[in-house]
Structure 1
Amino acid sequence: MARSKEFEENAVLEKAMKLFWEQGYEKTSMNDLVEHMGIHRRSIYDTFTDKHTLFLKVMDRFGERINGRWAAGIKQSRTAKQALQFIFDSIINGEEDVPPGCMFVNSAVELAIRDEDIDEIATKAFAKSEKMLAEIVTWGQQNGEFTQQYEVKELAEYLQNALAGLRVMVRTSVPKEKLQRIAELNLRILET
């Protein structure tokens, strides 16, 4: 008779996500996962097949988390500038009880050049972020907040690059004040 699962899959995925996010894929061993997730190695294999498949599920979970958080913040914003400020602030200040930075950026830097699955996930995530930024830039141009000197696509690409850089820098000891100055300059560049 098969044993029933003695854990909630979403809860252990959350634990695995935080560990991979903090340490990266290569540095996280199966022993680390067993200890951190609080389940047996056999349960990990039975539920997620292998470490790589677990990592892909974690990447999906991270995408849902960040997209939901950003969508909610943008929806609450009254102006395009306020929406972008929310995104910059969420990157710089992070969330409580999670590692700094972005799992997509971390994983792209660590693995994308040699792992097609990670490359595809990260590339799609960056494209989705760029699309969201283009929508915000369009909003800002339509209501006169942002310059129309550049095309929406160019500004969205520019912002995506700036956000990727900030996502890396927040994992270092760079002071938040410097990161805020960088964010503020990016917003000033967009103004009319």
Structure 2
Amino acid sequence: MARSKEFDVDDVLGKAMDIFWRQGYENTSMQDLVAGMGIHKRSMYDTFGDKHTLYLKAMDRYAKSFAARTYGPLEAVPSVKEAVRRLFEAVAYRAEHEPKGCLLVNSAVELSLSDPEVADRVNDAFSGTEKVLEQLIAKGQASGEITAGLPAAALAACLHNALVGLRVMVKTAPDKEKLQAVIDTTLAILD
């Protein structure tokens, strides 16, 4: 008879995600994971597989959580420019307890050249963000709120590039005024 899990799988996966987010894949040992997740090594393997599989699941959880926390609330914002601004500010201004930067950007930098599965997940998440931006821009162009001088797809690609750069900058630049100036200057492209 199989034993029932004595831990909440999503909670434990969230702990692993946080460890990988703070330390990266290569700098995270199995001992770090076991200690941080609060479960036995055997339970970790039985539930999540090896370290690489756990990392992929942590990436998936991060992408899903980011999308739910960030994209959903944008639908209620009446101004398209304000919705785009909120997306940028969600990336720049995190809660103090959260690791700096973005797990997906960290993964892209650390592993995507050598790990096709990581690269696929990063590209999927990046494509999703770019699609959200393109939809917002198209809506703003249709209403006249955003310049129609460039195609929505081109503006979305440009803004997404800036957003990824901002995610990197957040890791090293704690100056909120500088981050806000970067956001303001970037979003001026929509005028």
Shorter-chain TM-score category? Answer: over 0.9
> Which structure 2 segments of 5+ residues have no match?
none
Give the match's secondary structure for 2:148: coil
Deviation at 1:173, TM superposition (A): 3.2
Deviation at 1:2, TM superposition (A): 4.0
Q: Deviations over 1:20-42 (max 9, x none)?
A: 11111110110000110000111
Matched, 1:46 2:70: no
Matched, 1:82 2:75: no
Distance 1:165 1:87 in 2: 14
Distance 1:101 1:86 in 2: 16
Runs of 4+ in 1 over 2 A off after TM superposition: 1-4
Distance 2:3 2:134 in 1: 49
Deviation at 1:11, TM superposition (A): 0.5
Deviation at 1:95, TM superposition (A): 3.2
Q: Where does 1:132-151 land on structure 2 (aligned, <5 Å)?
A: 132-151=132-151
Q: Where does 1:98-137 land on structure 2 (aligned, <5 Å)?
A: 98-137=98-137
Matched, 1:67 2:67: yes
User: What letter matches 2:94 in structure 1?
Assistant: G
Deviation at 1:96, TM superposition (A): 4.6
TM-score by length of 2: 0.96
What RMSD, in angstroms, separates the aligned Cα atoms of the two structures?
1.1
User: What letter matches 2:173 in structure 1?
Assistant: S
What residue is the counterpart of 1:94 in the other structure?
94
The count of corresponding residues between Structure 1 and Structure 2 is: 191
Distance 2:155 2:184 in 1: 15
Identity of aligned residues (%): 48
Distance 1:87 1:73 in 2: 10
